[in-house]
Structure formats: C-alpha cells, structure tokens
A and B are shown apart, each in its own frame.
Chain A
C-alpha cells in the first residue's frame, strides 16, 4: 500500500458540470459567467480576481438554494466512487465557497476533507468573501506524498507540487498550462478511476 494522499479539484473533475455556470444559468446570468469562467480556465485572468467577480454575479441568489443546486450536480461516477470508498486518503481542494459546496461534500464523505474559499453569510446571502484559496499554497502544507487531479489553470500549482500529477479532460479540455505540468492525462472517468485505484 502506498502513502499517497489524493487531492481533487472539484469543478469538471469530480462534477460533470461546472458549478458556477450551472447556478448562473438558473438566474439568467450564464453569458457573463461563462465569459469569466472561460478566461480564467485559459489563465487570462488571475483566479482570485475572477472568482470575486463571479461571486458578485451570484450575490442575489439564496445560499441555501445554491447549496442545493450544487449538491445535485451530476458527478463523474467512477471518480466520485473512488473518493467515497477511500475518503480517508482523499481531499477536495476547490476555489468554490464553503457555504455553497457543503451539501455536495457531505454526499462525497468529504465534509472534513475539503479545502475551499470561505464566505460569511447574512440573511441567506453572501455578505463577504473571507478568503480565496491558493491551491499551490494549500498543497505545500501536506507532508505525505501527493497525487493531484485537476483540469484547470489554477490546478497547475498543485500539479507542480505533486509527486504524481493527473489531468482529467473528460468534461472539458485540460488547460494548456496544466498540460505542461502533469504526468498523466485521462479523458474518460473510468480510465482515471482505474489508474487511481492502482496508486493506492
């Protein structure tokens, strides 16, 4: 048995859809959200700036409502199953806000294994974002050998720090900057999961 700890990006790695565009679609703000998300994935806007702007777009919607939508987002079944069955060795590292994703994290048995951005909530609305995660900084705190799995530009730092870096392109193309920093790339959920099981 290996000592690897598995660090997962959430959007389009665990989920089969990106969460923020999915929410913005429900409140008819998809075009502006899509433009920001695409530019961020390509690495054209720093993640922190982009994320704060994206939260602003969603400031009118109920936090409980968002949490419910996120908890029901379809998942990559085999990757999700790996996480649930090996929850002690898996962590989710996501830019999303804790108050939005807690339902989904419960569903994945990741309640206490999640590193995310954080926000304060007043009257069921985001009152302020307290912190925006820096994934690379987060990964530096781990002392066990790491396997990272992601798809976006903001997963590159995590990939550089990982002992084995995986890219998952089954939902959307792996960001070019990440492609330069990974050891293996997968384009099907089952193939990625098969490989993860072999690394245990």
Chain B
C-alpha cells in the first residue's frame, strides 16, 4: 500500500449532496437552506470546511436560491446540477459531483448538522473511513460492525447510525447503486469515526436539531 497517499485537503474533493426537495420537512425550502439559529444549514457546514479548496455542492431543487446564498459566503464552490432529483437517488447526485474529483472524496449530506470538534477529527483522518453517530433519526441507515470495522450499511440492522458521511478513494466509487450506502457497501469494510450529528428530515428532527445546536451540539 506504499503507493497510496494519505488524505489531505490538497488531494481531497468534498461533495455535498443538496439536490432533493426535503418534502418530509414540509417547509417548501431545500433542506440545505433551513435556518439554524440565524444561519442557513449549508453555511454552517461550509464554516467547518475552510481548509478545503475543492468543494462541489450538488444542487437541483431551488438551485438558484442555494447558489446565491453560498456565493455570499465563498465564491470558489463548484456547483453540479441534478435536475432529475425527483426521480433519482442521492447516489446519482454524488456521481454528478465526482467528475474530475481528486484522489480522495469526502461525501457529505446537505441535511446534517455536525458537532464541530468531532467533525474536524473526521476531516483530519488520513485514511478511508465512514462516520457513525448515535441513533437519532426516524428512519436511519444503520451500521453493522465487526472486527472494529463497518461491514455493511442498511436500514435494518445495527446499533449506530450512518449520517451520510464518508471519506473514500475516488476511484473506488464506481457502483451504479441509487443509494450512497449501496455504493459504499460494495467497497466495505471501512474503519469508523464517531461524530455527533443531527439529521433534519422531519419537523420533529428540526426542532430537536435546533435544541441540540443551542446546547452546543453535545
């Protein structure tokens, strides 16, 4: 494995998938733009990604609105478009964001709040890994773990939640699964990094996430 470089911000692309409509949240705005104590969720994420200079945000629903908000914060973001967001999965958005990506790709979901210090540990991890959290969502993707590694992600088995985040070598992301966890299952196992997170899928998730954020993401 001596020819494999360690992951650093210089050889890593970050892809944030934000194309969907977020219908379960029911507020008529893309989830990336929901207000988190005065700041849109996508900006909360970008504030934690200052060290990275190749960030792609995959947009679809309310693309123009999202682009305008992001451009107010930083101008060097690449936007990839998935206008088929109603009929395609998040993995299709991810594939759109991967064209010309660097050696490593960090996959992020645009509907997730992260504990900043945990998240930095994930960002600084030099090898491939997937993020796990405590179970908190109504319909979580869970992780099956053995030999201290994540063996499989699914909606059925597991005591930890996968919040849509991973760091993997870009060349391995070749699966045509419509789910990102399906793409990752084909290249498992990975070591896990624990990050405290809150996903925002429903109004209840949103209320809990705000309370969690106001209490310091603990």
Contact = CB atoms under 8 A, between A and B. Distances in A.
A169 B83 CA distance: 19
Interface stretch (A6-14, A121-129, A184-192): A184-192
Interface residues of A, number: 19
B64 A184 contact: no
A133 interface: no
B194 interface: no
Contacts of B64: 176, 179
Contacts of B96: 183
Nearest to B70: A187
A139 interface: no
B19 to A, nearest CB: 13
A180 interface: yes
A184 B76 contact: no
A183 B80 contact: yes
Contact of B81 (A169, A183, A186, A188): A183
B92 to A, nearest CB: 13
B81 A199 contact: no
Given A180-B83, A198-B100, A199-B100, A185 B67 contact: yes
B77 to A, nearest CB: 7
A191 B79 contact: no
Interface in A150-200: 164, 169-170, 176, 179-180, 182-188, 190-191, 194-195, 198-199
A190 B71 CA distance: 15
Contacts of A184: 78-81, 99
Interface string B164-197: 0000000000000000000000000000000000
B75 A182 contact: no
B100 A186 contact: no
A185 B100 contact: no
B108 to A, nearest CB: 18
Q: 4 smallest A-B Cβ distances: which pairs?
A: A198-B100, A185-B79, A187-B75, A188-B76
5 contacts: A180-B83, A183-B81, A184-B80, A190-B76, A199-B100
Interface of B: 54, 63-64, 67, 71, 75-81, 83, 96, 99-100
